[in-house]
Amino acid sequence: MTTPILYSFRRCPFAIRARLAIAANDRRVELREIVLRDKPAAMLDASPKGTVPVLVLPDGAVIDESLDIMRWACANTRDAAWPTGSDAALIATNDGAFKHHLDRYKYADRYDVDPIEHRDAATGLLRNLDERLDAADSLGSSPQSMTDLAIMPFVRQFAQTDRSYFAGLPFERLHMWLAMHLGSTLFAQVMIRPAPWQPGGPRMLFPTTDAPANPKLPTRTPPGQRSESG
């Protein structure tokens, strides 16, 4: 194996942020799209916990945490200008409290909870993001910072759970920020629809060879313009 292998699931926000960092840094991996109900043995051998994303490096080393894959993607890249600095506390709140409430809002039956209670708690955390965006176009050092790319897929998932509810929230800056990311070439590049990987099947390199060498990163988008929806 000379190319790293990335096991991924298209809609998983953890996998999305890993792919965003890989594409933004012009890394190249072999993409293996999995089916969650039929996880391949090769992935489970590499990472028995069975969650995506999983990155298997040419030397056999395994990285199975999305933030660590993002850090790998940012390290020693040719484009040193790509911001890698992150707000660890803000990402921790996203991965902790916000993800907790998001799961129970989106999958209330699974957890046997009141989805509105958790929707409202998550909304309070989104209000904090909107207030932070009052001073800048981004949560981190720039719209393409590790902070923004790490958090955006989870805000997207919240928005898609009940689009009319999210659209009605008085968070203009957050709406603009999300639309800015969803309308970018970078996001379109990572949201391709690959066929599920099968052992012995054709290899799929990611980013695809016909993708832009330097994908367009987010720029401010006027309110109301939306893009890829799932």
HEC per residue, 171-187: CHHHHHHHHHHHCCHHH
The residue ranges of DSSP E strands in the chain, in sequence order, are 5-8, 29-33, 54-56, 62-63, 205-206
Dihedral class, residue 60 (left if φ above 0, else alpha if ψ from -120 to 50, else beta) = left
Residue with tokens 């006027």: 222
- Per-residue pLDDT, 129: 98
CA distance 207 to 27: 8
Which residue, 57, 51, 59, 16, is CA-closest to 34?
51
Q: Which two tokens stand for residue 25?
A: 């840094």
CA distance 124 to 130: 10
- Per-residue pLDDT, 81: 47
CA distance 124 to 122: 5
112-153 pLDDT, tens digit per residue, is 999 999 999 999 999 999 999 998 989 988 878 899 999 999
CATH architecture of 88-185: Up-down Bundle (1.20)
- Per-residue pLDDT, 49: 96
DSSP 130: H
- Per-residue pLDDT, 208: 85
CATH architecture of 5-82+187-206: 3-Layer(aba) Sandwich (3.40)
Strand pairing class (5-8; 29-33): parallel
Contact (Cβ atoms closer than 8 angstroms) between residue 42 and residue 215: no
Domain spans in the chain, listed from the N-terminal domain onward: 5-82+187-206, 88-185
Q: Which segments in the chain show pLDDT lower than 70?
A: 1, 76-85, 209-230
- Per-residue pLDDT, 217: 55
CA distance 118 to 131: 20
- Per-residue pLDDT, 224: 39
